[in-house]
Amino acid sequence: MKNKIVIGSRESKLAVLQSEMVRDYITGRNPDLDVEILTMKTTGDKILDRTLDKIGGKGLFVKELDKALLDGKTQLSVHCVKDMPMELPEELPIVAFSVREDPRDVLVLPEGAESLDKRRPLGCSSLRRTLQLKELYPDMEVKSVRGNLQTRLRKLEEGEFSALILAAAGLKRLGLENRIFRYFTPDEMVPAAGQGILAVQGRKGLDYSFIRDYDDRDAHFAAVAERAFVRYLDGGCTSPIAAYGEIQDDDIFLRGLYFDPETGRYLKGTRRGKTSEAEKLGIALAKELKERCSKGEGKCQ
């Protein structure tokens, strides 16, 4: 790679900011490296009139960035872990996970509003959130909203929605923490696998020693456990499956949400294990919840 590194990024303000965070880390520790950001619009960013499960899932947010990596136009890509497919090409490994920002989901009201207007729908972009919102707000309509964060906030201010359900991490990174009206606990709403964590993805065969120390131990183990849970259940954008792991010294406390698309039943559960067995822990909890759901346990959609 000589002395130049090109980072591939989606075009949104948040995506560029997150790529800049990685760029600044690299240049701060490797002043001899010239690091640039190459932005591109992904297929998932272009198609905004349909929900993700109708257009092919999360892979549409990484397709163009993956191609740029494989073609040698970039040497790194920066993604939100929650936006990445569970199965990754062997040629494009994740080389580092960032320190985790706040993983919780939050409620955002229109500017100036002091309470939730239940006459208008809640704006939500995922089946995972929609399923859990039906428990929290059974008397409210939930309507799909797509687009980047600024687009969603604009639609909120234009009166399309009573509130939006968003990730705290993105709002905080953009300095919009003041817009948060309510935080949902992980028990109320299990976050998406990897929510709040950034993944730095590279190309097999290249030397990434310059970014190795960026990898955060706790975020790494949490992401491995959460992604193993979802991967075992073959979950993605078409299924409201979720997982969130909290690291406590050498232990992981893992929460999981399993949904059975055939019966419409869903079930939440927890399991504790060692960080050294993060992947096994995710799989074990997934197996447990799937088996319990098949026996008729859980709630109906």
Q: Report, as residue numbers or ranges, the catalytic residues.
A: 83
CA distance 99 to 221: 11
Contact 262, 296 (CB under 8 A): no
Alpha carbons within 13 angstroms on the beta-carbon side of residue 230 total: 30
**Which one, of 257, 198, 259, lies nearest residue 223 by Cα?**
198
Write down how long the chain is: 301
CA distance 56 to 3: 37
Angle at 108 between CA 107 and CA 110, to 5 degrees: 145
Handedness of CA 96, 100, 103, 109 (dihedral sign): negative
CA distance 246 to 253: 5
| Residue 13 DSSP symbol | H
CA distance 263 to 276: 35
**Which one, of 225, 204, 203, 208, lies nearest residue 272 by Cα?**
225
**Which one, of 98, 100, 83, lies nearest residue 45 by Cα?**
83
